[in-house]
Structure 1
């Protein structure tokens, strides 16, 4: 005790006799206090992924200091701007050498059948049976998804107003040719709806978002089962994005994953030019809505929840972050894109890149099928090497 008291006396004497040292000591104490504050905020941020943190630049600093989450299950719903989100996740995983749940060909792994782990081809199946990212078209099965994802995975999906979803489906999959009836003719003769009541390849049709999320077609007319289904999705997903508010959705995704906004920059993918979209009258919209009542119940529930989540995030904070993200996206577009064309599948827009476009530009504009094949080649090689090692270690000396 006496030694510590003596130390204090000496310290007071040093402070009094050495003003320069006193200034340095004050600076050290200030920096230490700031460090303690940042650490405490950092710990709190890890506990509450939706907590409010002041100042955009400070938040970006914290996002880089906090441990970025790498594990995410993204249910890619049809015609909900999900290709843009998928591209963000594929780029994130590619740059970090992460593993993916991948289809053996094309871009579906499950659907119309719900996803099952045995759908993963042996050439793409990691020995651990666990994967960082799931982001391809599938049909949701909670039990199967949990089986292949890490325990701390974020579960995310995206929705869109069901009237716009169905109009987009009708155009993209050319239902006019398949069912021999134009969209406008169908809307003006709704009694002909029986002509289009079957699902395209058993995958695409009415109440598409609910179908993708695993709801059974035979339960579409059961209100109690619809409400039970919506509650189930609410319980099992950490974030339900809204395609009409894509920037706000991506800000919330970045917040959930502890990512800086740079991780969610994008070029809009698989979008149609405005002149290819059928503009419906109010009565026509009501007709389409009457065919998609399950999706409308799902959508309105999560739209209300989305609104509340933004308010909890902070309205001013959200506006500030959206402005930053829009600036980042504009810079990416200017840096990468030379021109647009409408030669994509279903009259969707594609990008012609500048000659000097870099790796980020290349993958931000890369189509889903080509990008998926790139990932397959990488993962097949990884699986081959790991299995070769396992074979070596399983042999006795």
Structure 2
């Protein structure tokens, strides 16, 4: 082989290598992956390139009875693992930002500023939140099908919402809702009783749904404010979009469900007539949900079904590895909160008879934090209820402590 032929062959090989590298990078870019994103317990290897830095300034608007407690736990874990600051409500506001009042920066605990993450209940006020958060903050929220959500609201708040308390049953309430409903009922009553999603997002829950101009403007306003509106019924698909939007890894979006009702407290199904009445009563929420459910599927379609299917496969594969690493051959057992003796793991119970499920601490996880293994800490945090996790992070932040994950 002549020298010129050897040189040409070398150039051809270099071109082939370059094309191969480009194809690999293209595949990773299409999936939004980095080398470490396939393992739920991976440690970053800084010798490998990352396509985009992770988004660390995020507002997750926590809405009522939508699966938002599961998302809040996910946000807490991300903040803790990356040593970020979560903005917490001041003491007088409890665990919400003085809800149902419209959000104001005065409602934030000063010891939890400047903030990277907001993830507690509030009545959304975009102008006020923007005063608090960096300019590159990404805004996210979650919605749930309104009839299913309203049934859950009625069951959960039956004894604490005066409007619901007056009605002998959900069926009786829906037969004549105006007989019980008072728009200005104190103590959050009217908030729970009609168009709660609209109210949480800063809208007028009592605006007639026939006011097409108002509905159009409100939907446009929510569209401008939020980069992603998740849908509870399509939680994993929503996480596909979330992960790509924030450039997070799969281990950042793993979860176990939080704050669910026990099976015995749920209706197995809703009569068609009852569901229709609930949707008509919450018609603003229905228009909100339908709009963003369609938007979610347009975004997924833009990615392509093959790519979405692969993302879901990888997500669920990572989820299975997480369960195996945390609990081994044991299946994670849901237990009634009343059966959980460890108060650090017992979900909050309100004054209703509705019971909430939680998780017992598996034997292979250290509760006192003595283990240095990140896996064990992650497993514990996964099953820590929202109020206890809030207390842990708030106390650490206000005392100047650092995350044990870093």
What TM-score comes out, normalization by structure 2 length?
0.78
Give the aligned partner of residue 49 of structure 1. none
> Is 1:111 aligned with 2:99?
yes
Question: Which residue of the partner structure matches residue 221 of structure 2?
Answer: 232
- Distance in 2, matches of 1:330 and 1:36, equals 31
Provide the C-alpha distance between the structure 1 equivalents of 2:335 and 2:321, rounded to a whole number of angstroms: 20
Task: Give 1 or 2: higher helix fraction.
Answer: 1
The answer to whether the aligner puts 1:249 opposite 2:215 as a matched pair is no
Report whether the alignment pairs 1:373 with 2:403: no
SS of 2:333's partner is strand
Alignment partner, residue 159 of structure 1: 143
Deviation by residue 1:273-294 (Cα, 9 ceiling, x = unmatched): 3432223211111111121011
> Of the candidates 273, 287, 296, which is equivalent to residue 286 of structure 2?
296
Specify the alignment match of 1:266 in structure 2.
255
Q: Please give the secondary structure, in 2, of the residue aligned with 1:94.
A: helix
What does residue 266 of structure 2 align with? 277
What does residue 142 of structure 1 align with? 126
Note if 1:219 corresponds to 2:204.
no
Distance 1:200 1:26 in 2: 77
| Equivalent position of 1:339 in the other structure | 333
| Aligned match of 1:352 | 360
Shift of the alpha carbon at 1:196?
Answer: 4.0
- Using the alignment, how far apart are the partners of 1:252 and 1:375 within structure 2? 27
Structure 2: 5+ residue stretches without partners: 39-47, 338-346, 366-375
Question: CA contact under 8 A between 2:34 and 2:50: conserved in structure 1?
Answer: no
User: Do the aligned residues in 2 keep the contact of 1:339 with 1:353 (CA within 8 Å)?
Assistant: no
Kept in 2, the 8 Å contact 1:266–1:332? The answer is no
| Gap regions ≥5 residues in structure 1 | 1-11, 46-52, 385-397
Return the match for 1:328 from 314, 318, 324: 318
TM-score (norm. length: structure 1): 0.80
Matches within 5 A, 1:63-82: 64-82=50-68
Match of 1:102 in 2: 88
Per-residue deviation at 1:13? Answer: 6.9
Q: Which moved more, 1:53-62 or 1:144-153?
A: 53-62
Structure possessing the higher radius of gyration over alpha carbons: 1
State how far apart, in whole Å, the 2-side matches of 1:102 and 1:65 are: 32
168, 172, 178: which is aligned to 2:156?
172
RMSD: 3.1
- Report the count of equivalent residues: 356
Describe the superposition over 1:89-121 as per-residue Cα deviations: whole angstroms up to 9, x where unpaired: 110011111111111243201421111111113
Q: Give, in angstroms, the shift of residue 267 of structure 1.
A: 0.4
